[in-house]
């Protein structure tokens, strides 16, 4: 699979609505492994990275689902292509800065991304819709068994799977959840949430950016594993925290919805008006307004003739596709990108019958 084919197709996972009222958009399970007898990436050389790739890549390409996957060394990708893959969460920020001997493998029919010589020799991300971490863990454990049949993995009976960061040694798994939190964001409560989560050994960061004003109200919640934690203990603790955050977001949404000043309804109406009439649209405006459009759909303020689930997926796809085009514009100098972005959203609203309810 070529890079242009990969980027033209939607990414192989699309967050959907689920029984948590649209708060939990997706889950990611990260698995890391290192090869015995090779320097870990933090201490590697170009020669050792090449040796690791030469050992690992043939094994990966023989695994079912990876035989026809997109595979490239990072030095072969342009800045724009890396930025596009980073936006689609098919590269990590650490991997996007790598060069020789570092490879990314993206299968066409598996919700998986595999990176060679990222922070560890082998890093795999499994993507799931909604809160489906158990399925992701099962898939990672099956893949780990297949890798260990062919590769000698760095392992200690005392510490578990060895990693570049000693505190992360153990099961080699980390859990992530993508959350849509417009209620807490609009109520200016995210700083309180961040401080509270730190005490529970869980971190939260913006999904799209490292700046607090360019989040699209979407955040990534991720576990900080300890060497003493088992997978089951980490999973139970993480899911309990997620569900508590979901309930808090739902409470804040209801409180904002009945507020006599109607701040939330006004924000949704302004976002809808902007998307309906705009001639130019920045990426930040797109993310924030699409987020509010999604919230208005979930709350019944905006009603569509199509299935709500299909509309929510389509709204997420617009954000992803436009962010991808923004990344690629660095390479091809796409003119009038702001105007194209606005036109795409206006056409979407025109082609999907709906009405705006003030009640």
How far apart are alpha carbons 136 and 311 in whole angstroms? 25
How would residue 7 be classed by pLDDT, with cut points 50, 70 and 90? Answer: confident
How would residue 291 be classed by pLDDT, with cut points 50, 70 and 90? Answer: very high
How would residue 228 be classed by pLDDT, with cut points 50, 70 and 90? Answer: low
**Which tokens in the block code for residue 118?**
């990222």
Which positions ≥6 away from 215 have C-beta within 8 Å?
A: 185, 206, 207, 208, 209, 287
How would residue 19 be classed by pLDDT, with cut points 50, 70 and 90? Answer: low
Is the per-residue pLDDT at 64 higher than 70? yes
What value does the mean pLDDT of the chain take?
86
| Rg value, the chain, Cα | 21
How far apart are alpha carbons 42 and 54 in whole angstroms? 18
pLDDT for position 241:
93
What does the domain layout of the chain look like in residue ranges?
Answer: 3-255, 263-356
Is the per-residue pLDDT at 309 higher than 90? no
pLDDT tens-digit readout, 93-151? 889 888 889 999 998 878 899 999 999 999 999 998 888 899 999 999 999 999 999 99
pLDDT for position 276:
93
pLDDT tens-digit readout, 313-337? 888 888 888 877 777 776 555 668 8
pLDDT mean over 351-355: 92
Is the per-residue pLDDT at 82 higher than 80? yes
CATH number of 3-255: 3.10.450.50, 3.10.20.30, 3.30.590.10, 1.10.10.10? 3.30.590.10
Is the per-residue pLDDT at 210 higher than 80? no
pLDDT for position 100:
87
Is the per-residue pLDDT at 167 higher than 80? no
pLDDT for position 334:
60
Is the per-residue pLDDT at 359 higher than 70? no
- More confident site: 212 or 202: 202
Is the per-residue pLDDT at 54 higher than 90? yes
């Amino acid at each position: 699979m070529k890079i242009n084919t990969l980027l033209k197709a939607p990414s192989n996972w699309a967050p959907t609505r689920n029984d948590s009222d649209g708060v939990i958009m997706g889950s990611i399970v990260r698995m890391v492994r290192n090869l015995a007898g090779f320097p870990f990436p933090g201490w590697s050389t170009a020669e050792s990275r090449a040796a690791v790739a030469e050992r690992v890549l043939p094994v990966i390409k023989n695994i079912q689902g990876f035989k026809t996957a997109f595979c490239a060394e990072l030095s072969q990708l342009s800045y724009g292509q890396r930025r596009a893959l980073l936006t689609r969460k098919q590269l990590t920020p650490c991997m996007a800065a790598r060069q020789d001997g570092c490879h990314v493998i993206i299968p066409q029919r598996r919700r998986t991304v595999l990176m060679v010589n990222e922070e560890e020799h082998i890093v795999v991300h499994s993507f799931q819709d909604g809160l489906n971490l158990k399925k992701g863990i099962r898939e990672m454990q099956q893949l780990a068994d297949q890798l260990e049949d062919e590769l000698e993995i760095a392992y200690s009976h005392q510490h578990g799977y060895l990693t570049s960061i000693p505190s992360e040694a153990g099961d080699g798994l980390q859990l992530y959840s993508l959350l849509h939190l417009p209620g807490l964001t609009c109520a200016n409560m995210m700083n309180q949430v961040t401080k509270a989560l730190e005490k529970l050994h869980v971190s939260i960061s913006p999904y799209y950016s490292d700046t607090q004003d360019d989040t699209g109200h979407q955040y990534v919640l991720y576990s900080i594993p300890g060497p003493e934690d088992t997978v089951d203990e980490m999973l139970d603790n993480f899911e309990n925290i997620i569900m508590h955050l979901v309930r808090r977001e739902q409470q804040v949404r209801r409180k904002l919805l009945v507020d006599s000043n109607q701040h939330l309804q006004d924000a949704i109406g302004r976002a809808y008006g902007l998307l309906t009439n705009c001639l130019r649209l920045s990426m930040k405006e797109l993310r924030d307004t699409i987020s509010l459009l999604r919230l208005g759909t979930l709350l019944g303020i905006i009603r569509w003739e199509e299935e709500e689930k299909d509309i929510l997926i389509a709204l997420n796809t617009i954000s992803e596709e436009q962010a991808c085009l923004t990344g690629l514009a660095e390479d091809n100098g796409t003119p009038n990108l702001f105007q194209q972005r606005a036109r795409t959203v206006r056409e979407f609203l025109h082609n999907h019958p709906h009405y705006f309810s003030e009640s």
